[in-house]
Amino acid sequence: MRRNGSPCAFGPARPLWAAGDNREMPHNRLLPCATSRPYTGAKKGRPRNCAPGIPAKQETERVSQGKTGRGAVDILMYHAVTDGPPPLDDWCYMPAQLFEAHMATLRRMGLKVMPLSDAVMQLLDGTLEERVVAITFDDGYANNATTALPILERYGLPATIFLVSGILGTARSIWASRIIRALQESKRPEITFGGETWALDGAKARGRASSAIQNIVKSTAGAAPDTAAEAVEIACDTEVNPDFSGTDFAIMDAAMVKSAEAGGLIEFGAHTVSHPILSSLDDAALAAELGPSIEAVAALVERPSPVFAYPNGRLQDFDDRTIAILRAQGLSAAVATTEDRNRPGGDAFRLHRWGIGRNCSALRLAATLMGARSLPLVRRLAG
């Protein structure tokens, strides 16, 4: 999923402990509990997948009729984590220093962080008795393994990575990365696409053009975004579908996936074959994006997540056809990008996630997880 310009729940602001600010946030004064609680594994006997032999739809219906726990799940959605400056200041590319500040915040707030699969299954079957957090990454960028994973390991925090299977292990990247790189490298003073023209006089102008063009592609070419990305590359007079190896846009390969899973903190789930807008596809194309992606992940890892991630993830970006196929494939749940806390009784195939981008400071993350509705309130709580 990509959400350029997402406000990370509260809109753009840099009043205190903002992104790039190295000052320590007084985490211990935000909540009474400031203990570190690294993940120590699922409860004994709790399976990550559905009960053997029970289709996902039946399992979901069954658990919703059982007891209801008191817990809730906040799911965080990240994308790429970069060692250097993010490309064109794109929302999806978070500096490693800021990502580490986020992980430190989770630990200092004393929140329990669980693998998404465990948290969701316990929420669905009514055994979740506390509020927990789950960390997710969309698209499967190589820097999830090379940059984000070492940080997760330092804090003992588990995470789920959703893979775009069609580009896994190749030199290609998702269509949005192609657009960003074309605009970043173009020597032209302006670009025309979709009947609109954007100036390319500086990094900020190129960033604005990138965000606008990506949104145009989502709304008008969601069924064939790579074709649209090629048109942008041609308009920019840059290489078509270039080699992304060694860049911030690079995607994981099989060896990275296997190594990350073997470490015990990372699980993997499916995120389609090519990252289209699913609701824009006909039935045959929809089936071709979902089934093969789920099967590819299952063939690659030992413990595939029973949770799917919708590309882009707004409610209009998928439909009942999508959910029917996911259930038929044996999945138990799916995550969207509607921003809210997941509570008992919610829709297992429309789970909420908080979009966390590079404009989200550690303070704003804490505010999101505390349920605060305004930054002034969080400042008062912080003293």
Examine residue 150 and state whether it is found in any structural domain, yes or no: yes
State the angle between helix axes of 254-262 and 283-300 in degrees (0 to 180), rounded to the nearest 10: 60
User: Token pair for residue 147?
Assistant: 């940059």
Domain end (from 200, 217, 236) = 236
CA distance 98 to 75: 18
Smallest CA-to-CA distance from 334 within 326, 324, 344, 345 is with 326
pLDDT at 86: 82
* More confident site: 43 or 284: 284
Confidence of residue 372 (pLDDT cuts 50, 70, 90): low
What pLDDT is attached to residue 38? 52
Q: How confident is the model at residue 375 (pLDDT cuts 50, 70, 90)?
A: low
Does the pLDDT of residue 61 top 80, yes or no? no
What are the residue ranges of helices labelled H in 197-353?
203-220, 225-236, 254-262, 283-300, 320-328
121, 48 contact by CB (below 8 A): yes
**Do residues 89 and 166 both lie within one domain?**
yes
3-state secondary structure of 162: strand
Domain CATH for 335: 3.20.20.370
- Fill in the DSSP letter of residue 251: B
Instruction: Based on the fold, state whether residues 188 and 149 are members of the same structural domain.
Output: no
| Residue 326, token pair as written in the block | 């996911």
The answer to the question of residue 5 being in a domain is no
Structure confidence at residue 84 (pLDDT): 86
Residue 77 in contact with residue 136, Cβ under 8 Å?
yes
Q: pLDDT confidence of 69, banded at 50, 70, 90?
A: confident
In a shared domain, residues 312 and 221: no
Of residues 125 and 45, which shows the higher confidence score? 125
87 pLDDT band, cuts 50/70/90, is confident
pLDDT at 371: 77
Backbone angles phi, psi at 65, to 5 degrees: -95, -5
Q: pLDDT value at position 195?
A: 92
In the chain, DSSP finds a helix count (H) and a strand count (E) of 13, 12
> What does the pLDDT look like over 273-313, one tens digit per residue?
999 999 999 999 999 999 999 999 999 999 999 999 999 99
Give me the count of residues in the chain: 383
| Cβ contact 181:86 at 8 Å | no
Residue 45 lies in a domain: no
Helix axes 225-236, 175-185, angle to 10 degrees: 10
Q: Mark whether 61 and 129 lie in a shared domain.
A: yes
Q: Say what the pLDDT of residue 235 is.
A: 97
How many structural domains compose the chain?
2
User: What is the rounded distance in angstroms from the CA atom of residue 75 to the CA atom of residue 354?
Assistant: 6
Same domain, 31 and 88: yes
- Per residue in 199-246, pLDDT (tens digit) is 999 999 999 999 999 999 999 999 999 999 999 999 999 999 999 999
Is there a single domain that holds both residue 250 and residue 375?
yes
* Same domain (yes/no): 115, 210: no
Single out the residue in 214, 236, 258 at which a domain terminates: 236
Task: Check pLDDT > 70 for residue 99.
Answer: yes
In a domain, 6, yes or no: no
Residue 2 resides in a domain: no
Does residue 4 register a pLDDT over 50? no
Q: Beta strands of 4-152 (E only): which ranges?
A: 72-78, 80-82, 93-95, 112-113, 131-139
Are residues 205 and 342 both part of a single domain? no
Same domain, 133 and 182: no
Domain final residue, candidates 236, 262, 281: 236
Output the pLDDT for position 68.
66
Tell me the pTM. Answer: 0.83
- In the numeric block, the tokens 């590079």 are attached to 358
Position 24 confidence tier, pLDDT thresholds 50, 70, 90 = very low
Q: Is the pLDDT of residue 151 over 50?
A: yes
How confident is the model over 313-347, as pLDDT tens digits? 999 999 999 999 999 999 999 999 999 999 999 99
**What integer pLDDT is reported at residue 62 of this predicted model?**
35
- For the chain, the 3-state helix, strand and coil shares in percent, each to the nearest 5, are 40, 15, 45
What does the pLDDT read at residue 215? 95
Residue 195 belongs to some domain of the structure:
yes
Are 341 and 225 in a shared domain? no
The separation between CA 245 and the C-alpha centre of its own chain, rounded to angstroms, equals 21
Q: pLDDT-based confidence at 377, cuts 50/70/90?
A: low
Contact 78, 99 (CB under 8 A): yes
pLDDT at 75: 98
Q: What is the DSSP letter of 280?
A: G
pLDDT given at position 67: 59
3-state secondary structure (DSSP) of residue 39: coil
In this structure, are strands 93-95 and 159-163 parallel, antiparallel, or unpaired? unpaired
Structure tokens at 104: 């430190």
Token couple for 302 = 């030992």
Q: Residue 374: what pLDDT? A: 52
Q: Please tell me the distance from the alpha carbon of residue 91 to that of residue 207, in angstroms, as a whole number.
A: 10
Measured distance CA(224)–CA(102) in Å, rounded: 35
The string of pLDDT tens digits covering residues 156-203 is: 999 999 999 999 999 999 999 999 999 999 999 999 999 999 999 999
Q: Is residue 19 part of a domain?
A: no
Range of the domain at 146: 27-38+51-171+245-382
pLDDT at 85: 84
Q: Are residues 189 and 147 in the same domain?
A: no
Instruction: Note whether residue 17 is domain-resident.
Output: no
Same domain, 59 and 133: yes
